[in-house]
Amino acid sequence: MSTVPMNSNVDRDLEVIEEDTAFWAFFDTVPAWGTSLLLHAGLFLLLLSITLPEVLLEQLSLTSTVKEEEVRVEEFAIDSKPTEELGSMSDLNVQGASAAVAQHKGLDNHREEIRQIEDTIVNPRIEMFESITMPSEADTLENIDLTGTTEHPGGTQGAVDRVTLEIASSLRQGKTIPVWLFDESISLETRREEVTERFQNIYKQLGLMDDIDTREALLTGMIGFGQNVHVLVEEPTNDLDQLVKAVQSIESDTSGVENVFAAVNTAVRQYGSIRRKLRANMMIIIVTDERGDDFGGESYSILEDTVKRLAREGIRVYCIGNSSPFGRQKGFVHVKWTAPDGTEFEDDLPDADQGPETPLAEGLQLPFWTANARNLERMSSGYGPYTLSRLCSETGGIFFVADDTTVRKWDPQIMRQYAPDYRPGIEYKRQLQSNLAKSALIGAAQMSISENVPVPQRVFTATNDNILRQEITEAQKPLAVMDYFLTRVHTALEAGEKHRDKLDTDRWRAQYDLAMGRVLALRVRAFGYNNVLATMKASPKPFEKEGSNQWTLEPSDEIQGAANIRKMHEKALDYLNRVVEEHPGTPWAFLARIELSEPLGWQWRETKMPIPEAGMGGAGNDARRPQFAPEEEARRRQAREMQQKKEQFKPKV
């Protein structure tokens, strides 16, 4: 048996004693403050060892719980099946696993993420409103903000009442100087009288504004214009009698010239210094029925200079005028006039410069060969002429359409999508240069302005073959000229056909498609018309009914011509039907339906007309003229004389 030497155990005990002695000897050498520091550090470590496990346990518990719930979510997503039960008993009402996890005590990670996103992404400069404050009923009725638009207020009286509201709105902002510009044309006599009759009502309404002393705040200027400009009131006044007498003193101008932009600039010069002295608002109210003759032509130089000047000085322009004829420059105005002998006349006179509603006329001025086309050249566009509409739009005013007598009206909600472009004329020209379809359309439209396309003769006398041939020959003469014209227009439109799909507005697309459809339809009609006339002239058809003595051409589905004419026919129908389908409720669709209302081919129908007795007919031979009773003959002679006098003294418009 082995034994451990005694000296080895002793040595180990001595080493332990030496280590303990060294440990306590260390404290003997440490100063008092060091001992205190060591004791406090030990106490801090003791406290930390007590609280740290609770925190770690809580975090550990949360982490463990989330992991368990995440596993459950995956299991739910995999094992769940669609339920057919709805309502309170449905599984869909059971709280989802993700919602259950969010209920555990601890950090709401979802809410914290939202808060971080709001802090980093939401723009603090955007003001957030909890609710929108609605205007009062009085504010809604009194402040009608339709600036820069065309309004249909219901005739001249309605337009004047709307102008009254605009003046009242300006008065609430400060002193106001409305300046009335009256067209001195003979065609404006009735409208000037209507406005004058409303003057008393206007200023009576404005005088009843309880919160404003209108006598000092409202001063009115007045100017007349025609070929020349006349300042009717030298200084703006609140004297109603003086204003009425000024309007009544206007003498009708028969020159047919309306220098409206010269009148606008005269108003600014005449009343501008007083306006600046009083620090007053200034409004210009134009009463006219045409677009003006001094806008600067196609360059629109005077128009643009006037727009810039008024916009810079903050002067709004309002106009009580006529709507522009659809796609045309020339329209009709109703005129009353008196011959030197005192005879009074009244009629609608053509060639009034009332349009177009765009910088250049965009509509083809082609006649309709359909029987149901009546007065379509008078059809309203629903907008004022471009010149005055742009002046009103750019200055923040309104163009009021006063001639609300047109039979055909258009829904403003629909037409808003087809509103004309009131940007400067130079911008309009850039558009034409940027798209070949636009420039082709304008070129074709300009061609149609200068050409007089005839409406064909449909009834032919056929008492014998020679008379029939003579009438057919006369009817064919204008067809050769018309075919040349239609070919040029069609060629111009075809040049832009490949760019048709690049047209950027509904208005341009409707305008181009209608133009192409109409010129194709008219070419098909004209070719077929000439074809059936030539056939009848070469070999007159015999009558099948006893007593028939004339032939009448009627529309037919049978298209006369070769394959190219039939192709042209199908293409015309495609374009016209596309206008009807894509632009319902618009003037373009209306005109396309008129063109489609009758087939494009022709057929003959025999008819009968009464034949005058021998010695009772024959043009240019007084001895063979029909003889009427003396009273009837006198009445007819008087009617001819009145018509001659009417034409002789007809005024210019």
Mean pLDDT by 10 residues, the chain (653 residues): 45 48 52 67 60 39 40 36 36 34 38 47 40 36 44 78 90 93 90 84 70 76 94 92 90 89 96 93 94 83 93 94 88 78 79 87 88 78 92 93 70 87 89 93 90 84 91 88 89 94 94 97 94 92 89 91 91 97 95 94 89 47 53 78 77 73
Task: Tell me if 651 is assigned to some domain.
Answer: no
**Are 297 and 183 part of one and the same domain?**
yes
Task: Tell me if 457 is assigned to some domain.
Answer: yes
**Are 589 and 463 part of one and the same domain?**
yes
**Are 555 and 606 part of one and the same domain?**
yes
Any idea what the CATH number is for the domain that residue 155 is in? 3.40.50.410
pLDDT of amino acid 367: 85
Longest C-alpha distance within the chain, in Å?
181
pLDDT of amino acid 404: 58
Give the DSSP H/E element, type plus range, for residue 267: helix 260-278
Q: List CB contacts of 140: < 8 A, sequence separation 6 or more.
A: none
Number of domains into which the chain is organized: 2
Residue 294 identity: D
**Are 154 and 291 part of one and the same domain?**
yes
**Are 508 and 391 part of one and the same domain?**
no
**Are 389 and 446 part of one and the same domain?**
no
Task: Tell me if 518 is assigned to some domain.
Answer: yes
pLDDT of amino acid 615: 43
pLDDT of amino acid 478: 85
**Are 194 and 245 part of one and the same domain?**
yes
pLDDT of amino acid 14: 43
Residue with tokens 């360059």: 299
Task: Tell me if 98 is assigned to some domain.
Answer: no
Please tell me the distance from the alpha carbon of residue 517 to that of residue 573, in angstroms, as a whole number. Answer: 7
Q: What are phi and psi of 203, to 5 degrees?
A: -75, -20
**Are 249 and 294 part of one and the same domain?**
yes
Task: Tell me if 232 is assigned to some domain.
Answer: yes
Q: Which structural domain range is residue 228 located in? A: 140-323+382-403
**Are 399 and 461 part of one and the same domain?**
no
Task: Tell me if 203 is assigned to some domain.
Answer: yes
CB-CB contact of 502 with 437 (8 Å):
yes
Burial readout 485-511 (b: 16 or more C-beta within 10 A, e: otherwise): bbeebbebbeebeebbeebeeebbbbb
**Are 469 and 531 part of one and the same domain?**
yes
**Are 443 and 567 part of one and the same domain?**
yes
CB-CB contact of 404 with 172 (8 Å):
no
Task: Tell me if 342 is assigned to some domain.
Answer: no
Q: What share of the chain is helix, strand, coil (3-state, %, to 5)?
A: 55, 15, 30
pLDDT of amino acid 468: 92
Task: Tell me if 577 is assigned to some domain.
Answer: yes
**Are 491 and 551 part of one and the same domain?**
yes
